Chain A
Amino acid sequence: MESKPVTLIVSDLHMGDGNPGDDFVDDQHQFAKFINKQAATPEGQAGRIELIINGDFLEFVQVYPQAYQLGSFDYWCSENESLLKLGAILNGHVDVFEEIKKFQQPGNRVTLFAGNHDVDLYWGAVQERIRDKAGDVNFEMGDVWYQRYGRRLRISHGHLFESIDPANKFNHWRDPRLGQPNSLVQRLEMCPGTLFVVRFVNFLEDKYPFADNLHPEMALANVLWREDRWGLKTIAWVLARFAGRFPKAFLAIDEKADIGRQLLDSISVDPLFRETLARIYRDVLRVADMTPDRVRIGLDSEEAVAQFVEQLLQTSSHWDEWLDALDLAEPGISSTSKHGRGTLAIQAASKIDSRAACTEVAKSQWRDGAQVVVLGHTHLPQTIAEDTHRYYNPGSWTRYIDAADIESLTLEELQRETQFPFQLNCVRVEDKGTEILTSDLREIDARRAG
């Protein structure tokens, strides 16, 4: 692909359906205005700009969740399901697609790379539909690195590097459209990170809108675990159990927090707990004929109990009606601090220093001849300069929390999404005909923390 003299790179817009819960910061139509403004620059008017959206432009994972009902550990959306989700996004941000279309008219180019939240861009019908709305958008799929200016500029979303995030690795990134056994319908590959969001995070978002902004996703389990309430620790345990199925994806997950054993013990010997769970089955899960005895028979393993809690999460956002029930299993010991009751080792997984990991990935590209390296995915803006080498991460167009603050984050804070900062950036790279590319990170709009 021929390079334009100016390349603008943005990443991780996570554009949803425009409804509450859409994480894309668009209260002032910032992205549409940004494109419009770039089109009005002399380079823009001359058609000398390429705008690259470096993955996770469109939030397929969270938008219109009803479209994906399979609940598979292996397969994500079919082409039709992805189209349903795309429809919701296109309708939610008409202005953005119109500006993209206009931007391309003088000869500027818009290129989309896929990320872990928009692997759906691999579908031909999805690309076609986007072109209907946004003009002749260029799709580049299947590579880990994309390059411009004779490989001096290298761009990757970043989710495929285990050192940055082991939870969102794809085994078939070259082409994740997979055939299924006993079915003619192709589906996209599912990665553990997406599965976690689909099974848990999406159900938490109504009550805790910022829950989906945590990176890595499993940091959510720690937030729940730190809460001084047994029922919430139980949810953390369910999350940790899930993570335990993907030890490589979520690293050092310790699901041995004894929560499951405690729940089973309580079901076994505590009639009040059994009676209360039977009532929850009847009232929340609509199992009309549930009795305490059937609770004892049905919930006879940690797996069964975890499934029950997951069902509750997915069925009722009125947590209080069932958290009280789970609280009954809290060990009856008095202590000055319940936080002292051990910590989940999943902290280890949320403690990846993704900034440092990105820097290392960039440096390896520098050593291989790159001048400018751009990554995304972490949502953490970053600029590193060494001699003539540059590494940038423009961050995201969503609100974010700095990795250092995640350890003290509370569930209550997750309810107040608008209090978190955002920093909408783009990386600008220009080839002025000299040996060295000119580049910088530009802030489009921001709201600081506090």
Chain B
Amino acid sequence: MLWGATFDLVFRYDVLPADALAGLKGKKLEELLGKKVSLYINVQPVALTLTDDIPGRVAHFEGGKMIGDPPHFHLKAPQRDEAAAQCGVDVTFFADRAFLYRFFLPIQPVEKLDESVVNCPKQVIDLDLLEVLNSEAGKRDAVLFITKKGGAWSVYYYIEGDSRPPEMASVSPADLADKYEKDGIIKDVTRVVEKAVWKQIDSDLKIPDTPEMKAQLRECTQALMRIGSKLYLALAGDPAFKTAFDKIEKLKPGSKITIMTEGVAFPWELFYPLYYDNGSEANYQPDQFWGKRFQIEQLLFTPTETDKLPRDRTQPGTLKISMGLNEGIDKEWKERPILPVKFQKDYCDRTLSTRGEHMETQDSIAKILKEPYLTSFIYFFCHGDETHLEFEESKPPLEVHSLSPDQIYPGWPLVFLNACSSGNISPLSFSSFRTRFRQKKAAGLVAPTFPIPTLFAAVLGKVVLDEYAARRPIGQILFDLRGQLLEQDNALGLLYSLQCPLDVRAPEQ
């Protein structure tokens, strides 16, 4: 199209026309015949504009045909003097609200239309339509999109057949970061995680059953409930978020929610929908934490060329768990029964055995970041913040920049950054690591959204690895753990977020 022109991007399901920008690989599937299927298409323009601000539309299939009007996205090309380095749309397909396939479709405006444009090579969309048909297992109940538009957020959703056009939120990323600081959220969470009771955790994540311990645990849950309530109300006070939250609140317990963002990671699991400010016993309902009710995955609009998930979200190859550990952490625990790092090393040596490896030197760990390292699970237990990971006190910490984006991971590994941030926590926590790991084709991240007590982190890390090695999906593992811990009045599980598809699981072998 021409510079500055308005045009429609149309997703059709028929014979590929000569002027198509892209085409699906493969042929129509017989299985599609006789079935009703919906495909949600989300379009994020890059240097283009959606003239009606509607980025999500649904294509319906029945009897092997697309029924109704094909999805049209109304776009406008930039003026020539607004030309950007990249121009096009980032397209994501969801089947049953489960992320299916993402690709970038370049659309380059020209001075005048001619034959060469029509005959330019078409992009091949490598979408396995069987995935669309077999998506029941990966079904999600809600997809919430939060994208940045200027300094504000644009919010829209697709929840059980109901989708809603974007609304601009009045609360901005800057407002929320400010709230973290001014409302004392980080300080309050820090007070919780600094509690002495967390040093009493045993190797099964249990805490001795004494009145003093129980009292401290209850105090912690109450404090986190208060924080969750603050965070929830901060967003729910905004009409754009409120509409989506009202929908989410109606979902059944155990529902699976996808939150698509461009980088911001919220502690959604900690969200608490009731007003709670210590003392109101009627509103003390730990079951109402979102992390107790829902499996939540936070996915990125990743700046990669294409993003295709393995079938059934099962990692390829054989299971290998690669642990990078900061041994220095054990120094402060020398008089206590469990040394956090040794505990994890012993687990690796005794239980994972040949399926696991642990590294303690920064140089060896750096290889995992720099090379196309073959592994299924990258597990780091170290000091860290949103841009640094420290494994050896004597060496400068590893930075986000240490992750070479062109050295792609062949094993679609899950990355667990079991590092504790040190006061630099913000809604952007670990976002830079997350983005870079995704660029290297990692499945995504499990990471704390706030500081975490060391011993708890160590034992929880071991439990997660153990369950993962048993081939349970990561989202289910974390969901179950949060629930089990909350039953013991331990709310710390809510401080971990899942930033990858929640049904990712270990290789079959």
Residues in chain A within 8 A of chain B (CB atoms): 258, 261-262, 265-266, 268-270, 272-273, 327-338, 340-342
Asked if B383 and A269 sit within 8 Å, CB to CB, the answer is no
Q: Is B193 an interface residue (CB 8 A)?
A: yes
Q: How many residues on the B side are at the interface (Cβ–Cβ under 8 A)?
A: 40
Q: Is B196 an interface residue (CB 8 A)?
A: yes
Query: A residues within 8 A CB of B210?
Result: 269
**Contacts of B416-433 to chain A: CB distance below 8 A:** 419-424
Query: If the complex has contacts A268-B212, A269-B216, are A334 and B382 also in contact, measured as CB distance less than 8 A?
Result: yes
Asked if A334 and B420 sit within 8 Å, CB to CB, the answer is yes
Cα A376 to Cα B371 with chains together (Å): 65
Asked if A265 and B216 sit within 8 Å, CB to CB, the answer is yes
Query: B residues within 8 A CB of A338?
Result: 422
Asked if A331 and B194 sit within 8 Å, CB to CB, the answer is yes
Query: If the complex has contacts A268-B216, A269-B197, A272-B335, are A336 and B422 also in contact, measured as CB distance less than 8 A?
Result: yes
**Contacts of B2-53 to chain A: CB distance below 8 A:** none
CB-nearest residue of chain B relative to A341? B423
A327, A329, A340: which has the most chain B beta carbons within 10 Å? A340
Query: If the complex has contacts A340-B423, A341-B423, are A262 and B384 also in contact, measured as CB distance less than 8 A?
Result: no
Query: A residues within 8 A CB of B190?
Result: 333, 341
CB-nearest residue of chain A relative to B198? A332
Asked if B200 and A270 sit within 8 Å, CB to CB, the answer is yes
Query: A residues within 8 A CB of B385?
Result: 336
Query: B residues within 8 A CB of A331?
Result: 193-196, 453
Cα A277 to Cα B424 with chains together (Å): 34
Query: If the complex has contacts A332-B332, A335-B451, A336-B422, are A270 and B194 also in contact, measured as CB distance less than 8 A?
Result: no
Asked if A332 and B199 sit within 8 Å, CB to CB, the answer is yes
Asked if A335 and B383 sit within 8 Å, CB to CB, the answer is yes
Query: A residues within 8 A CB of B200?
Result: 269-270
Cα A273 to Cα B200 with chains together (Å): 11
Asked if A262 and B451 sit within 8 Å, CB to CB, the answer is no
CB distance from A284 to the nearest CB of B (A): 18
**Contacts of B393-422 to chain A: CB distance below 8 A:** 397, 419-422
Q: Is B452 an interface residue (CB 8 A)?
A: yes
Write the B191-235 contact mask toward A (1 if CB under 8 angstroms, else 0).
Answer: 101111111100000000010110010000000000000000000
Cα A341 to Cα B454 with chains together (Å): 15
CB distance from B449 to the nearest CB of A (A): 14
Cα A269 to Cα B199 with chains together (Å): 9
Cα A338 to Cα B332 with chains together (Å): 13
CB-nearest residue of chain B relative to A271? B200
CB distance from A262 to the nearest CB of B (A): 6
Q: Is B350 an interface residue (CB 8 A)?
A: no
Partner of B451, one of A327, A329, A333: A333
Q: Is B319 an interface residue (CB 8 A)?
A: no
Q: Is B329 an interface residue (CB 8 A)?
A: yes
Query: B residues within 8 A CB of A272?
Result: 335-336
CB-nearest residue of chain A relative to B335? A272
CB-nearest residue of chain A relative to B456? A332
**Number of A-B pairs whose CB atoms are under 8 Å?**
83
Cα A342 to Cα B184 with chains together (Å): 12
Write the B440-474 contact mask toward A (1 if CB under 8 angstroms, else 0).
Answer: 00000000000111110100000000000000000
**Contacts of B265-304 to chain A: CB distance below 8 A:** none
Question: Can you list 15 A-B contacts with CB-CB less than 8 angstroms, sorted by A residue number?
Answer: A258-B194, A262-B196, A269-B200, A270-B196, A327-B332, A332-B194, A332-B198, A332-B199, A332-B332, A332-B333, A332-B455, A335-B421, A335-B423, A336-B422, A341-B422
Cα A336 to Cα B383 with chains together (Å): 5
CB-nearest residue of chain B relative to A264? B196
Query: A residues within 8 A CB of B454?
Result: 332-334
CB distance from B211 to the nearest CB of A (A): 10
Q: Is B390 an interface residue (CB 8 A)?
A: yes
**Can you add 20 more A-B contacts, CB < 8 Å, to A262-B194, A333-B190?**
A269-B197, A269-B213, A269-B216, A270-B200, A272-B335, A272-B336, A327-B332, A331-B194, A331-B196, A332-B332, A333-B193, A333-B194, A333-B452, A334-B326, A334-B329, A334-B452, A334-B454, A335-B420, A336-B422, A341-B190
Query: B residues within 8 A CB of A336?
Result: 383-385, 388, 390, 397, 422
Partner of B453, one of A269, A273, A332, A342: A332
CB-nearest residue of chain B relative to A324? B335
CB distance from A74 to the nearest CB of B (A): 36
Query: B residues within 8 A CB of A334?
Result: 326, 329, 382-383, 419-420, 452, 454, 457
Partner of A333, one of B216, B335, B390, B420: B420
CB distance from B452 to the nearest CB of A (A): 7
Query: B residues within 8 A CB of A258?
Result: 191, 194
Query: B residues within 8 A CB of A328?
Result: 335
Query: B residues within 8 A CB of A332?
Result: 194, 198-199, 332-333, 453-455
Query: A residues within 8 A CB of B194?
Result: 258, 262, 331-333
Cα A23 to Cα B190 with chains together (Å): 42
Asked if A333 and B423 sit within 8 Å, CB to CB, the answer is no
Cα A269 to Cα B213 with chains together (Å): 6
Asked if A329 and B196 sit within 8 Å, CB to CB, the answer is yes
CB-nearest residue of chain B relative to A270? B196
Asked if B329 and A265 sit within 8 Å, CB to CB, the answer is no
Query: B residues within 8 A CB of A329?
Result: 196
Cα A153 to Cα B194 with chains together (Å): 58
CB distance from A66 to the nearest CB of B (A): 37
Cα A269 to Cα B216 with chains together (Å): 9
Asked if B422 and A340 sit within 8 Å, CB to CB, the answer is yes
Cα A261 to Cα B223 with chains together (Å): 15
CB distance from B13 to the nearest CB of A (A): 52
Cα A261 to Cα B195 with chains together (Å): 9
CB distance from B261 to the nearest CB of A (A): 25
Cα A338 to Cα B451 with chains together (Å): 12
Query: A residues within 8 A CB of B329?
Result: 334
Shortest 8 CB-CB distances between A and B: which pairs? A335-B422, A331-B194, A266-B196, A265-B196, A340-B423, A334-B420, A268-B212, A336-B383
CB-nearest residue of chain B relative to A330? B332
Query: B residues within 8 A CB of A268?
Result: 196, 212, 216
Cα A347 to Cα B397 with chains together (Å): 30
B195, B385, B390: which has the most chain A beta carbons within 10 Å? B195
CB distance from A121 to the nearest CB of B (A): 48
Query: B residues within 8 A CB of A269?
Result: 196-197, 200, 210, 212-213, 216
Query: A residues within 8 A CB of B453?
Result: 331-333
